[in-house]
Amino acid sequence: MQAIKRKKQKETIIEGFFLICAFVAVISVLAITVFVFYNGLKPFVSNSYPLWDFLTGVEWRPGSNMYGIFYMIVGSIFATFGAILIGVPVAILTAVYISEMAGSRVGKMIRFAVELLAGIPSVLYGVFGLGIIVPYVLKISPMAQGESLLATIMVLAIMILPTVVSISETSISAVPKEYREGSYALGASKIQTIFKVVLPAGRSGIMTGVILGIGRAIGETMAVMLVCGNPIAGIPTSLFDQIRPLTTNIALEMGYASGVHQELLYSTGVVLFIFIMIINLAVNKLVKAKVGS
Considering beta carbons, is residue 38 or 52 the nearer one to another protein? 38
Burial letters 99-115, b for 16+ CB under 10 A, else e? bbebeeeebeebbeebe
Burial letters 41-65, b for 16+ CB under 10 A, else e? ebbbeeeebeeeebeebeebebeee
Least Å distance, CB 15 to another protein, is 6
233: β partners: 59
SS (H, E, C) 36-78: HHHHHHHHHHCCCCCHHHHHHCCEEEHHHCEECCHHHHHHHHH
Least Å distance, CB 237 to another protein, is 26
Least Å distance, CB 57 to another protein, is 21
Least Å distance, CB 250 to another protein, is 6
CA distance 258 to 252: 13
Least Å distance, CB 239 to another protein, is 20
CA distance 263 to 257: 9
The three-class DSSP label of residue 158 is helix
Considering beta carbons, is residue 64 or 192 the nearer one to another protein? 192
Considering beta carbons, is residue 56 or 192 the nearer one to another protein? 192
Q: Which amino acid is at 270?
A: V
DSSP 218-284: HH--HHHHHHSB--SB----STTS-B--HHHHHHHHTTT--HHHHHHHHHHHHHHHHHHHHHHHHHH
Q: What is the dihedral of CA 188, 194, 200, 205, to 10 degrees?
A: 160
Least Å distance, CB 226 to another protein, is 6
Considering beta carbons, is residue 149 or 161 the nearer one to another protein? 161
CA distance 119 to 90: 19
Considering beta carbons, is residue 6 or 238 the nearer one to another protein? 6
Considering beta carbons, is residue 149 or 246 the nearer one to another protein? 246
Considering beta carbons, is residue 74 or 199 the nearer one to another protein? 199
CA distance 240 to 146: 8
Least Å distance, CB 93 to another protein, is 3
Least Å distance, CB 220 to another protein, is 7
Considering beta carbons, is residue 116 or 289 the nearer one to another protein? 116
Q: Which amino acid is at 256?
A: Y
